[in-house]
Amino acid sequence: MSMTPWLKAAGRASAAALLIFLVGAATARPAHAQSLPSEPIVFGDGHVTLGGDAAVTFGPQDPGFFNYTDYEHSALRMLRADLTAVFKADRHISFLADMRGEISMDSEGFSDAAAPRAYALYARIRPWADRAFDIQIGRVPPTFGAFARRTYASDNFLIGYPLAYQYLTSLRADAVPANADELLRMRGRGWLANYSIGDQNAAHGVPLVSAFTWDTGVQVHGATERFDATGAVTAGTLSNPLFHDDNGGKQFAGRVTFRPVTGLVVGGSAARGPFVSTVAARGAVGDGHEGGFTQTAWGADAEYSRGYYLVRFETIVSDWTLPIVRQPDLELPLRAISTSIEGRYKLRPGLYAAARFDHLGFSEISGTAATATWDAPLSRLEVGGGYSIQRNLVLKLSYQYNSRDGGRLRTLNLVAAQLLFWF
């Protein structure tokens, strides 16, 4: 008997149990309270702090897989719950964990569940209690990029995610194309791609930067009043974060931010690490070359806020180097460039409007019959807003227009709603 139905049922039960616990813990309050609580739960003489959020997102089916994530769920059809915990051992050492459960929704309702997983799990060491300097070890927060630090639903003005952090390209770390023709056949097929070298089973590709899995390794962070710097050595790469490396290499990443004036934040990021798995690399070119097939990325971002409005801009350039096996050759590195601009305007207390425009483009390669970008360029416009029923209970609505130069579906309009609670 197949265990798949039992595993799915266990996943649904686990995710539902996490959601029930989260909401139940958050709503436990004295009888005289008039509204849902909005502060974290603190106990153990201040040593333990619990917080979390729960979001239910309803939207139509996405037959073009524009909002598909690397956990094989649609970002617009999902029930998600996070429970965060901080244990402060003393002034110098803390332990932090974030457990996340997800249930995706099909045509019959919520069905496919992912068992709760450790989104974050790390120790934070502060050698000097009075200085903004710390060392983090474990599954640590993202080092690269601006949006990577705002992936919680409470930090996202809209419902969808920027393309660089969510949209699946046709590249895979565990399987590689033998030549340009093979890669071009998967153009616009990031939701289900297969290649002749490495794992030949069809599977989803990777985004430029994963917003749904944090890095595992060591991170060092320091800050002053105007500057902030972070560096990390982790497993996997930006597009394929791992708990255990599959190629023996490590990724090096860094980020700096500068606050020159009130309301303005300017940032820059860089990362580089081996991308192709050992199995796929050996299948392509034999032993001894595993570390040479890398992902290298650069990012720049800015945020400015004043009065009722806030504007954010971010651009990311990612280069992947893959094995060259036979003609026609791939023009390496394969490059993807993402540009995103978004804004929010407060219409009145508790009510805001927001919009985001994204474009994701790719470099060209030459196949036997044609020259084209190695993946299908696409653009996304999302507009919407949110209303605070209370400070930490928000209803969001959004309209999303997707346009892609390839794939099974070229254009798609989507409307979604989300109810979000956090404490």
Hey, where are the domains in the chain?
Answer: 51-75+120-422
Least confident of 82-91, 112-121, 233-242, 249-258: 112-121
pLDDT band at 290 (very low <50, low <70, confident <90, very high): low
Q: pLDDT tens-digit profile of 207-242?
A: 999 988 888 999 999 999 999 999 999 999 999 999
d(CA 241, CA 274): 11
The answer to whether residues 183 and 330 touch, using CB atoms and an 8 Å cutoff, is yes
Inform me whether the pLDDT recorded for 12 exceeds 90. Answer: no
Q: pLDDT tens-digit profile of 253-275?
A: 999 999 999 999 999 999 999 99
Least confident of 30-44, 108-122, 249-263, 273-287: 30-44
d(CA 392, CA 387): 10
- Domain 51-75+120-422 fold is Porin (2.40.160)
Inform me whether the pLDDT recorded for 423 exceeds 80. Answer: yes
9 three-state secondary structure: helix
Closest CA to 212 of 167, 251, 165, 177: 165
Q: Is 229 exposed, middle or buried (0-12, 13-18, 19+ CB in 10 A)?
A: middle
DSSP for 343-378, please give it. Answer: EEEEEETTEEEEEEEEEEEE-EEE-SS-EEESS--E
pLDDT band at 111 (very low <50, low <70, confident <90, very high): low
Closest CA to 119 of 142, 94, 146, 135: 142
Q: Is 224 exposed, middle or buried (0-12, 13-18, 19+ CB in 10 A)?
A: exposed
Beta strands in 70-167 (DSSP E): 78-88, 93-106, 109-125, 133-140
Inform me whether the pLDDT recorded for 8 exceeds 50. Answer: no
How does the average pLDDT of the chain come out, rounded? 88
The pTM of the full predicted model, rounded to 2 decimals, is 0.89
239 three-state secondary structure: coil
Inform me whether the pLDDT recorded for 16 exceeds 80. Answer: no
